Structure 1
Amino acid sequence: MNDYQSRLQEAAAFMREHDDFLIISHVNPDGDTTGSALAAALMLEQLGKSYVIVNEGETPGKFGFLPRFHKLYNLAESPIERTFTHVIAVDAADSKRMGDVTHLFANDVQILNIDHHPTNDEFGRFNVIRTDAAATAEIMYELMVAGKFTCNAELATCIYTGLLTDTGGFRYSNTSSFVMQIAAEMLQYGVKPGDIAEQCLEEITWEHVQILRHALQSLQLSFDNRVALLKVHASDLEETGASMEDAGGLVNYARNMKGVEVGVSLCEPVPGVIKVSLRSRQDIDVSQIAKSLGGGGHAKAAGCTLQSSMEEAEKIVLAKLGEVLGVD
């Protein structure tokens, strides 16, 4: 048994030997984050364990079809006045990415850290990290198999959703033959791929269209058209009635332009706070840029949060990109 398989066995034993779990994930949860967290909840249910599943803020409503979605606590709206000794963290690259949840940890907390980000700092007592996995959902599948959990339609839906969303609908370069094998297996349990793709990847809101109009008007090219950057101000969100969920995915419009190597979006949920999203094509590792600014992620998809004005954030990010590109 190799080291990784041993860690999967340790993770399953951790879940079997304890009870009363807190399940957490990263802030601004996506499909992999949500699917993986709910997959952990479903596995705990099979063991007859109790759990509370939380996120610092709101989970996008488009994932509302996932089983146990209604059990997700938004700590911003529903504070929890107690602590937990046993914690499962999924898809969180580092302790900062978990958000404001550490007040829920007991002094003797034990954390099971399950993740696929290269920037993960192994903050757990138990760490199941595989950086070549396309999604944390891929690791959750391996945990399901290693721990001899029973796959069913609910668990399959969570795993499939995580794979689908973190591979961009099985289009990104992280789509491996193993990913496709898992996806095919999940279909055998009744997963409806067309419905999930429509819900997660295709359907957009009117507010998204409105905020997209504002964002595209701000689009600018830098460094010989190798970088495309767009911005969304807090005033844009207020004017259109759009939420941060509606503003999700805007960075892809910048990245997908022909000839562009890095796409950047700067989104201001409230004045003085800038959410930075970075997407690259081939040779530029944007995770290192994000990490240098207090964030993290993957080589081709990363992000961070800056406490600054929009103008200052733009200068900071472009300066970092200039260094990487070797351009003044």
Structure 2
Amino acid sequence: MSNYNRSLEEAVSFMKKHDRFLVLSHVNPDGDATGSALAVAQMLRNLGKTFVVINEGETPARFSFLPGFEQIRNVSQSPLEESFSAVIAVDCADRSRMGNVEHLFAQDVQLLNIDHHPTNDEFGTCNVIRTDAAATAEILYDLAVAGHLPFQADLALCLYTGLLTDTGGFRYSNTTPHVMESAASLLKYGVNPGEVAERCLEVITLGHVNILRQALGSLKLSFQNQVASVCVSRQDLAEANADREDAGGLVNYCRNIEGVEVGISFVEAEPNVVKVSLRARSYVNVAEIAKQLGGGGHAKAAGCTLHGSLDEVRDRVLALLGEVMGVKDNE
């Protein structure tokens, strides 16, 4: 038996052993984080367990079609008074990505850590880490199969959403035969692929259009046009009647420019707090760059949150990127 299969069996045992769970994903959750958290909730419900699903912050409204979405509790606005001895964290690249939630952990806490990020530091008492998985949802699919857990429409929809979003609509290089086979299997339970793609990948808000217009005005090419970046200030968001969620995806416009190796977006989330998103095309490992800055992610998609003004953060990130690429900006 492989170490991966053994860890899957240990995870199933963990879920069957305990009765009440705290389920959480990373701060600023995406489709894989949200879909995976709600998939775990579905599995626990099928096992007759009780649970609370939380996140430190808002979960994007575009995932509101997922079954159980309304039960995700934003603990930054609605604190919990309960402590939990059994915790399941999904899609958290390291312990810090859980956010400020550890006050909810009991002294005897047991933590199941399920993730696919290469930067994961195995912070759980039980860890199921597969860094070549396209999404945490792919690992959860394997877990359900290994544990003979029942599939049904709600679980299938959550898992499919995780697979779809973390592969960019099955377009990224992490799209493997196993991903496609898993997705095809989930369609048998009534998932409507066109509807999920429409909700997760196609529909954009007017706020996004407005902030995109302003962001592109800040577009800067650096390092022999190999790096493209945009900056969005809090004032830009206010003028565009947009929020931080509306600014999601701006980095892709930078990375998709022909000849660009790395795209970066800098979004001022709060005064002197800047969310940095990085996307690479081929040879630059942006996860290593993000890790040096206190963040994490994947080789071609990573991010971090830094303190300072937009200009200070941009200069800091570009300087580090220049070192990694071995290119000077004035060359």
Aligned residue identity for 1:326: G
Q: How far does residue 239 in structure 1 lie from its aligned partner after superposition?
A: 1.4
Distance across 1 between alignment mates of 2:30 and 2:92: 11
Aligned residue identity for 2:187: L
Classify the secondary structure of the residue corresponding to 1:141.
Answer: helix
The answer to whether the aligner puts 1:272 opposite 2:272 as a matched pair is yes
Aligned residue identity for 2:84: F
Q: How far does residue 278 in structure 1 lie from its aligned partner after superposition?
A: 0.2
Q: How far does residue 241 in structure 1 lie from its aligned partner after superposition?
A: 1.7
Aligned residue identity for 1:106: A
Indicate the residue corresponding to 1:237 in structure 2.
Answer: 237
Mapped contact 1:26–1:33 kept (Cα < 8 A): yes
Classify the secondary structure of the residue corresponding to 2:244.
Answer: coil
Mapped contact 1:237–1:269 kept (Cα < 8 A): no
Distance across 1 between alignment mates of 2:142 and 2:180: 14
Indicate the residue corresponding to 1:284 in structure 2.
Answer: 284
Classify the secondary structure of the residue corresponding to 1:88.
Answer: strand
Aligned residue identity for 2:35: G
Q: How far does residue 11 in structure 1 lie from its aligned partner after superposition?
A: 0.3
Mapped contact 1:251–1:278 kept (Cα < 8 A): yes
Indicate the residue corresponding to 1:41 in structure 2.
Answer: 41
Q: How far does residue 65 in structure 1 lie from its aligned partner after superposition?
A: 0.6
Indicate the residue corresponding to 1:124 in structure 2.
Answer: 124
Indicate the residue corresponding to 1:31 in structure 2.
Answer: 31
Q: How far does residue 288 in structure 1 lie from its aligned partner after superposition?
A: 0.2
Classify the secondary structure of the residue corresponding to 2:257.
Answer: coil
Show the 5 A alignment for 1:103-118: 103-118=103-118
Classify the secondary structure of the residue corresponding to 2:111.
Answer: strand
After TM superposition, which residue ranges in structure 1, 4 or more long, deviate above 6 angstroms? none
Indicate the residue corresponding to 2:175 in structure 1.
Answer: 175
Q: For each residue in 1:283-307, what CA deviation from the matched residue of structure 2 results, as whole angstroms up to 9, or x when unmatched?
A: 0000000000000000000000001
Q: For each residue in 1:229-253, what CA deviation from the matched residue of structure 2 results, as whole angstroms up to 9, or x when unmatched?
A: 0011011111122111111100000
Distance across 2 between alignment mates of 1:60 and 1:48: 28
Q: For each residue in 1:266-289, what CA deviation from the matched residue of structure 2 results, as whole angstroms up to 9, or x when unmatched?
A: 000111000000000000000000
Give the paired residue count.
328
Distance across 2 between alignment mates of 1:48 and 1:319: 52
Indicate the residue corresponding to 1:153 in structure 2.
Answer: 153
Show the 5 A alignment for 1:252-267: 252-267=252-267
TM-score by length of 2: 0.98
TM-score by length of 1: 0.99
Segments of structure 2 that go 5 or more residues without pairing to the other structure are: none
Aligned residue identity for 1:56: E
Over the aligned positions, Cα root-mean-square deviation in angstroms equals 0.6
Q: How far does residue 181 in structure 1 lie from its aligned partner after superposition?
A: 0.3
Bigger mean CA offset, 47-56 vs 232-241: 232-241
Show the 5 A alignment for 1:69-84: 69-84=69-84
The answer to whether the aligner puts 1:305 opposite 2:321 as a matched pair is no
Q: How far does residue 20 in structure 1 lie from its aligned partner after superposition?
A: 1.1
Aligned residue identity for 1:249: G
Mapped contact 1:38–1:69 kept (Cα < 8 A): yes
Distance across 2 between alignment mates of 1:223 and 1:3: 43
Show the 5 A alignment for 1:243-254: 243-254=243-254
